[in-house]
C-alpha cells in the first residue's frame, strides 16, 4: 500500500536505541496505518503495553491457523479485556486447508521441509498477506536473540515480500531477561505456556517445551535444523 518507502535507505540505528524511539520513528516514517502482528507471546503483549503508553494508533491482528494452543486463545481474551483493544483475526482459506488434509493428512508437515513450508504457507503466510493488504507498515515482536535466522534483523526494515511496506521491530535488541522483567514490572497478561518451558509458542503440533540451556527456538519444529526454523512470516 505505502509508496513512502520508495527510494529510501534506512540508516542503521545506533546501539542502545530504545523500543520507544523505534516505534516513534516507524510511525513517523510509515505515513499511513500500522498494525501489530500479535501471536500473544510475551514480546507481543509487551508491545501492546508500550503502544498503549505511547498512545500510538495501531491496529492489532492475529492469525488463527486452526491449530493453536488453548492457552493462546485464553491470553488473547485476557489481553483484549485488559487493554480494551479489538483483535482482528485472520484464518486460512477453507478450501486450501481441506485440500491439504484430504491429500496429505493432518501431519504432513513432519514428513519433509517442503511439506512443512506448504502447511505454513496455507495456514500463516497467505492470511498474513491479506492482513497486511491495507497497511503501510507492521510491527513485530521478533528479537535477534531468538534464533540464528533472526541474528541480522534490523530495528526498521523495508518488507519487500509485502509490497515494500515498513516492518518495525522495536524489541530486536532486547534480551529475554529484559522482556520478562518488563512483563513482571507491569504485570501484563502472559501466556501460561511461557511458565511451562515454552519460550517460543506457535501451532500446538509444532511447538514443545525446551530444556534448560537449550536455544529458545529448539522447541519449534524440533525435527528440523536450526537454520530452517522460520514459517515464512519473516522472510528476508
Name the strand (E) or helix (H) holding 115: helix 113-120
- Pick the catalytic residue from 119, 120, 206, 231: 231
Residue with cell 488473547: 76
Give the Cβ contact number of residue 176 at 10 Å.
14
Q: Which grid cell is 3?
A: 509508496
Euclidean distance between CA atoms 119 and 94, whole angstroms: 13
Mutual angle of helices 19-30 and 42-54, in 10-degree steps: 70
Rg of the chain on CA atoms, in Å: 17
Alpha carbon of residue 177 to chain centroid: 19
Q: What is the DSSP annotation of 23-65? A: HHHHHHHH-S-EEEE----HHHHHHHHHHHHHT--EEEEEE--
CA nearest to 233, candidates 210, 195, 202, 206: 202
Annotated active-site residue 231? The verdict is yes
Are 19 and 139 in contact by the 8 Å Cβ rule? The answer is no
Euclidean distance between CA atoms 72 and 94, whole angstroms: 21
Q: Which residues are catalytic?
A: 231
Amino acid at each position: 500500500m505505502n509508496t513512502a518507502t520508495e527510494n529510501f535507505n534506512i540508516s542503521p540505528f545506533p546501539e542502545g536505541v530504545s523500543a520507544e524511539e523505534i516505534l516513534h520513528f516507524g510511525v513517523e516514517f510509515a505515513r499511513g496505518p500500522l498494525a501489530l502482528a500479535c501471536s500473544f507471546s510475551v514480546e507481543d503483549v509487551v508491545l501492546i503495553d508500550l503502544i498503549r503508553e505511547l498512545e500510538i494508533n495501531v491496529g492489532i491482528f492475529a492469525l488463527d491457523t486452526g491449530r493453536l494452543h488453548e492457552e493462546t486463545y485464553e491470553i488473547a481474551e485476557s489481553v483484549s479485556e485488559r487493554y480494551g483493544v479489538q483483535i482482528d483475526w485472520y484464518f486460512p482459506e477453507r478450501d486450501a486447508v481441506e485440500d491439504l488434509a484430504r491429500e496429505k493428512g493432518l501431519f504432513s508437515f513432519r514428513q519433509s521441509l517442503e511439506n512443512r513450508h506448504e502447511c505454513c504457507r496455507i495456514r500463516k503466510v497467505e492470511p498474513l498477506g491479506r492482513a497486511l493488504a491495507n497497511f503501510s507498515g507492521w510491527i513485530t515482536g521478533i528479537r535477534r536473540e531468538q534464533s540464528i535466522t533472526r541474528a541480522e534483523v534490523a530495528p526498521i526494515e523495508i518488507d519487500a515480500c509485502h509490497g515494500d511496506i515498513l516492518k518495525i521491530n522495536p524489541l530486536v535488541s532486547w534480551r529475554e531477561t529484559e522482556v520478562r522483567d518488563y512483563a513482571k514490572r507491569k504485570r501484563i497478561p502472559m501466556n501460561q505456556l511461557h511458565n511451562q518451558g515454552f519460550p517460543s509458542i506457535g501451532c500446538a503440533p509444532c511447538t514443545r517445551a525446551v530444556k534448560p540451556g537449550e536455544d529458545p527456538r529448539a522447541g519449534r519444529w524440533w525435527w528440523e535444523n536450526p537454520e530452517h526454523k522460520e514459517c515464512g512470516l519473516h522472510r528476508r
